[in-house]
Structures are given as C-alpha cells and as structure tokens.
Amino acid sequence: MENNRIRKTLPRILPLLQENIDAVILVSPSNVSYMTGIPHPSGTILLVSKNGEISVSTTVLELDRVRDYLPGEAEVYAYFRSRDEQAKLDVEDARIIDGNFVEAVKFLVGNMNVACDIDTLPYATANKLSHLCKESFTNTMKKIRMQKDRWEIELISQAIKIAEYSFRRTLHEIEEGMTELEIAGLIKYYMNEAGGYEEAFPTIVAIDENSANPHAIPGWRRLSLHSTLLIDWGARYDVYVSDMTRTLVFPSLYGAIQTKYLEWVKEAVEEAIDKVEPGVAAGDIDAAARKTLEKYGVAGRFIHGTGHGVGVDVHEEPYIRPGNNTVLEEGMIFTIEPGIYFKGFSGYRIEVMVEVTSKGHKVLTSLPKILP
C-alpha cells in the first residue's frame, strides 16, 4: 500500500519555509499524522526539505507500518529505543541509525538549517535537541491545521456520521439498570461496526450527579427511569475525529426544571451558532453563548469554554473561549458546547460541530439538540 497523503499536505507547508531554512522537521505525533496519515506515529520523525524530499525515521517496531503510509521515494530509516532492544532484534531490509530517538533526529538534520516542532517534546528531550532548531514551526503548524481543506472536512464528516450512527443504535438498546460503563461499551462497539477504528477519546457516559462533572469518568452508576443521562463521544476515522454531546432527561420529580435547563442550553448553542461567520473573533462566539445563560441567571454554572477546534486532535485551535481574538476563517471546524452544572444534582450540555463557510457557517452534526 502506498499512501500519498503527504502529497496533499506538502503544498501547505513548503511555501511557509523562510529563505534561510533548508527543511522542516516534525516530531509531534499529531503533526506527523496530519502530514502523512499515519495513525499513532509516536516516535516517528518526519523531515521535509524545501525541494519536497522526504526522510523519515521511526522505531524498528513501527518500521513496516510506517512505510505503508509513505511514497516510494521517501527515505525511511529505523532506530532502536535502547541498546538492549538493539541486541535482541534482528532487522532485515532497513537502514539503521546507530542510536536512539535523539540520535535519529540529529542524523536526519545533519548540517541543514531546520525549522521544527521540537518544543512539543518533553522538556528533557527538547533540551537535548533545541540547538538544532533555527526557528520553531509549532505555531505555523497550528495555523495550517486550523484551516481545513475539503478532503479533511470530508473525513471529519465521515467521523461524525459514524458517531451519530453509534448513538442512534445505542439509544435503541439502552435499558433501565444499565451502568455507565455498559452504555459506553455500546457506543464504542457501534462506532467500530460503522467503520471508526477507535474512539476519538474515552467516551463519557454520566448519570445523575456524575453528569455535573464536565469530564466525568463512567462507572457503575445505573440508569433509572428518572435519570439524567449525559453522553459525550466521538469517533476516529482515518486520523480525523468527531466530538459531540447530548443530554437526555427521563421523566422524574424534577422533569420540568430539567427540561427548562436543557432549553436554556439549547438556546445558548443556537445563539453561538448564529454568530459564526468569517471575520468574527472566536471570543465573540463564546460571549454569545454566555450572554444567553446570563439572561437566565445560570452563567456562573457555565464553567468551561464554549468550544474548541477539531481535526487530527479532538482539542486544537481555534479555542472558542473568552477573550480569544483569533479571527474565524473559511475551513475552520470547531465545537459549540455550552453546559450548566449543578453539583450533587446533574449537568446539562449540548455539543455540535460547526464549519465556517465562505458565507457563514454549516452545522455538520445532524442529531436533534434535544432528544424526545
């Protein structure tokens, strides 16, 4: 298999290399995934020269898998993670670098002047390599990835379809007495069935008081016919992800007020969506959601940002939060997910995904914001 993903991404980075820079070297797994389409490329080092030549080094264990995602003309090397591993493994048909990750980076750089994202590494490792880097390319990569090409939007849209299919199938199987973990297991199973190769992140299923924790961890709480049920989930398709949340309110003594809370959150979502268009600051989207909840006296219960970019990572630029002056541009994709939380009682969050278009916006998710 030969994957030419890198032929789609190279034209976005090469024009941005400064005149005094010979190449860019990328070590962040997310940046390497974006450039090559390799899932989970931990330990993989990508070097792209100004003339478009590609060199890669990865661990011996990942060598064959990584090769499958690169054009035939790419130079591919392998390194051992330790001397002990080098002594035990017999590797054929590979160009071996004598050394570990740090030595592999040095080998690829050679005498070139490089831009890099070394500052994404743990401090101790980055410190050993910082002298090789003439300038940081980290923020440049964030800006590149923030604005999606059409093929990226199609992959994200497929990740959304997979996640929504999973949610619908799971709803048909939810029964009284099921635990949060059992419901989360159904979500994951049906995402796999629909073609998602993994969850975008560990699925959040939170019942009653657990739903008051924005990053709740599923446990053994059981669903009753009077529960509040919050599900935050997403699928990974190719190397791109989706992210959405729905809150379900079952009939209870508090049904009327719970429904009211959900309606307020829905209104905040819709007010924020209405503000999305090119030229608007990300912080203004957040302000629109917050203003709605202020009207109902619950803005103090909204304890996180309104949203975040989604792409290779489930959290990336642009962040829809107070004071963010990032200007929205066509091709950006992010969540809008206001929520209000009542400790010891329950939480209410609705999360949709939105694309900035040339004339305004498009809501990519199709599930109803409030389910009957």
Q: The CATH number of the domain where 110 resides is what?
A: 3.40.350.10
First and final C-alpha spacing in the chain: 46
* Cross-strand pairs, 179: 222
For residue 369, tell me if it sits in a domain: no
Mean predicted confidence (pLDDT) in 245-273: 89
**163, 103: one domain:** no
Same domain? For 229 and 320 the reply is: yes
Domain range for 117 is: 5-145
Q: Which pLDDT band, with edges at 50, 70 and 90, does 68 fall under?
A: confident
pLDDT number for residue 315: 98
Query: What is the DSSP secondary-structure string of 214-241?
Result: TT----S-B--TT-EEEEEE-EEETTEE
In a domain, 311, yes or no: yes
Residues 6+ apart with CB under 8 A from 124: none
370 occurs within a structural domain: no
Domain assignment of residue 333, yes or no? yes
**CA-CA distances (angstroms) from residue 350 to 207, 210, 266, 325?**
15, 16, 7, 24
Task: Tally the domains of the chain.
Answer: 2
Each residue's pLDDT tens digit, 306-320:
999 999 999 999 999
pLDDT, tens digit, for every residue of 179-201?
Answer: 999 999 999 999 999 999 999 99
Please check whether residues 355 and 244 belong to one and the same domain.
yes
Angstrom distance (rounded) from CA 205 to CA 200: 14
Choose between 151 and 250: higher pLDDT: 151
Percentage of the chain modeled with pLDDT above 70: 94
Phi, psi of 346 (to 5 degrees): -175, 170
Give which of 310, 271, 262 is closest to 292, Cα–Cα.
271
Given a cut of 50, whether residue 321 has pLDDT beyond it is yes
**CA gap 110, 79 in Å, rounded:** 16
* 301 and 212 part of one domain: yes
- Write b or e for each residue in 26-46: b if 16 or more Cβ atoms lie within 10 A of its Cβ, otherwise e: bbbbbbbbbbbbbeebebbbb
Q: Are residues 176 and 275 in the same domain?
A: yes
Summarised one tens digit per residue, pLDDT across range 92-110 is 656 888 888 999 999 999 9
The CATH number of residue 221's host domain is 3.90.230.10
Instruction: Encode pLDDT of 262-304 as tens digits.
Output: 999 999 999 999 999 999 999 999 999 999 999 999 999 999 9
As given in the structure block, the two tokens for residue 241 are 């992800």
